[in-house]
Amino acid sequence: MNHFNTLRLLFLGLVVTLLQSCISQHKITISVLTPAQISLPQHITDVCIINHGIAELTDSNGVYYSFARQLYYDSTKYDTLLSWSVIDGLADGFAASHRLQVAGEPILWPRHPKDKEIFSFISDTLIDSLCPSADANAALIVDKISIFDNFDYFFMDNGLYYMELSALAAVSFQFYDLHNKQWIDQHIFMDTLTYSTYGYSWEKTLATLPGRAELYENIAYDIGKNYAWRLTPGLKTHQRFYYLSNDEDIQKGHEYASQNLWATAARYWIKLTDNKNKRKAYISAFNMAVASEMEGRLDIALYWIDKALEKYYTAEAVNYKTILERRQTNLDLLIEQMRINP
């Protein structure tokens, strides 16, 4: 019996030790201002937007759609909704960095039936006449818009309906330098948008999906915003994580990090960076790197990730260092594109 009790106590002690040393990762999502794909000339700041996505006289651009694996054509008119939603997305995309701004009100240039080319020849004189704003030094043409939507559903054995609504859209853009009289970009931007849902009632489940107009508005807006970020620095979403453990200072730092009080969180995490326990030192140094990045100090973040690697050489730390180095390189390009002093 005594021997059994001794083994039980040893087992319980081992469990407690393992629990105390338990380490987990807390994931976070951040938005990072990222360089544009195209570095524009510095003189381009104000953009005249031309809406060339609406057919003359009437919104006559019908759409293709699929229902239950059958293809149909719908002559319902969506030109206006699509083109102006793209323009709304462009304006909001520019606002992320304020590198570009819209000059005056967008100009409507209706499409003629013969305008079937994706990128047609446009004279300098015509571009100048379409952009009356004296402030404009570039023109952005929202050209041909194509869209296709699909609805599908499945009826499960347990009585559940699974429904999926998706749209595929393509928008042609042309970007022109009014000062140097040259085309900077001619690009077709494609995107997909999908909504899915499930429920036990056909009507109630279907009601949770957006209508076609809302679906088209959302995907057109997203395309406009993402094309704006092709020309100007834009916000990109990234995943990060920091470590959690049962240590009191790690937990306290987590409380403040959860409130985006990263500088305060760092006051607790930094206490353990020189701890004799290499695991604790690694965790706290890694967390310090994350806190530094959240505060916008990439140089300090690189310092702390190197400290973490000195304690423990892990794949997570190596990968994070690569990410930080890439962001540091992007920062130099970002400053150049933004025309600001570091």
pLDDT tens digits, one per residue of 290-308: 999 999 999 999 999 999 9
8 A C-beta contact, residue 51 and residue 255 = no
Residue-level pLDDT at 214: 94
Cα separation, 75 vs 78, in Å, equals 9
Cα separation, 33 vs 23, in Å, equals 31
Q: What six digits make up the tokens of 90?
A: 């462009």
Write the pLDDT tens digit of every residue in 158-192. 889 999 999 999 999 999 999 999 999 999 999 99
Residue-level pLDDT at 331: 87
Residue-level pLDDT at 295: 94
Cα separation, 91 vs 218, in Å, equals 14
* Token pair 């939507």 in the structure block, residue: 149
